[in-house]
Amino acid sequence: MNPLAAFAYAPLLKGFLALLAAGACFPLVGVFILRLNLIPLKFTLMHGAFLGGALALAVGVDPLLAGFLLNAVIVLTLAPLARATRLNEGYVAGFFMTLTVAVAFIVIYKASVPAKDVFALLWGNIFALSSIDLAVTVGFALAAAAFVLFFFKPIGAVLFDREIAFSAGINERLYSNLIAIASGFTVTLAMKLIGALLLDAVLILPALAALLVARSARGLFVLASVFGLTYALIGFAGATAVDVPASTGVTIAGAVGFGACFAYSRLVRRSRAMKGTTDNTDEESNHG
């Protein structure tokens, strides 16, 4: 059977295209999340998308839209609240994280929302995407890539050191907010695509691997994108071949890729250390 014949099924084709777009562009946001220590924020946003989904099902609107809106509110509230209360942003994220889950369960209970529908948000399903979901995913993936491309220097500066970025005249608060908003949208979309439990496969693992082996900021973003696309392709093909959910295939590909990059980075570090030792020995013998 021609393996490409499977793409004649619209859900499969839509899922594949969404996964490619997410694989290529979401890791760019993963770089932000890892570099700016936004992991607590990421969990808060996952819970925000869960609450958004519960609210949407209760009032009959699109869960993706509700998740976007709620996470936008969380992102825009979090930093000013942290500044006003002089609390660490991670602490405020922790507060929102627990509050959103509590409110979600109240909504589920009081509005008699079928729990399985809400929990479906945690699992995600790339083969259940509507054409609008696909368009939003591809559109947002392109917007994330354009954001990095056009604002590479100020973004690189903020990721390098916020104080240095500030003293270089960059509006680091604006870029930090844009980065947080991009993270919010990406987490919400990734949840819809492959579910909360496996969203790190497209968001974090490629960025993590790229951080281990990149030698420049430009290389970091390029590698994160290439790794994400590769994991998506290999994971999708592998999962289809052995008939398991696509998200698990992408995660396994990501884990193997991370392992390979980790081993490579250790080898490079060891050879650099040995070279340094040799250089020092040479220098000593020259002086001796």
Q: Which residues bind other proteins (CB under 8 A)?
A: 35, 153-154, 156-157, 159-161, 163-171, 211, 214-220, 272
- Angstrom CA distances, 286 to 133, 273, 275, 277, 278, stand at 67, 20, 16, 14, 12
Nearer to other proteins, 121 or 214 (CB): 214
Identity of the amino acid at 270: R
Smallest gap from residue 219 Cβ to other proteins (A): 7
Nearer to other proteins, 26 or 175 (CB): 175
Smallest gap from residue 35 Cβ to other proteins (A): 7
Rounded to a whole number, what is the largest CA-CA distance in the chain?
83
Identity of the amino acid at 102: A
- Angstrom CA distances, 281 to 116, 267, 274, 286, stand at 66, 21, 10, 9
Distance CA 71, CA 106 (A): 18
Q: Do 269 and 260 meet the contact criterion of CB atoms below 8 Å apart?
A: no
Neighbours of 7 (CB within 10 A): 14
DSSP assignment letter at 87: -
Nearer to other proteins, 86 or 110 (CB): 86
Smallest gap from residue 12 Cβ to other proteins (A): 37
Smallest gap from residue 100 Cβ to other proteins (A): 31
Nearer to other proteins, 173 or 256 (CB): 173
Distance CA 29, CA 94 (A): 21
Nearer to other proteins, 23 or 156 (CB): 156
Smallest gap from residue 204 Cβ to other proteins (A): 16
User: Which residue matches tokens 């289809």?
Assistant: 240
Nearer to other proteins, 98 or 167 (CB): 167
Smallest gap from residue 254 Cβ to other proteins (A): 19
Of the CA atoms within 13 Å of residue 195, those in its CB half-sphere come to: 19
Smallest gap from residue 269 Cβ to other proteins (A): 10
Nearer to other proteins, 122 or 211 (CB): 211
Residue 204 phi/psi, 5-degree rounding, is -100, -45
Residue 62 phi/psi, 5-degree rounding, is -70, 125
Smallest gap from residue 159 Cβ to other proteins (A): 6
Helices (H), the chain: 10-35, 39-59, 63-85, 89-110, 115-123, 131-150, 152-160, 162-167, 172-194, 200-203, 205-213, 217-242, 246-287
User: Which residue matches tokens 């479906």?
Assistant: 120
Nearer to other proteins, 135 or 267 (CB): 267
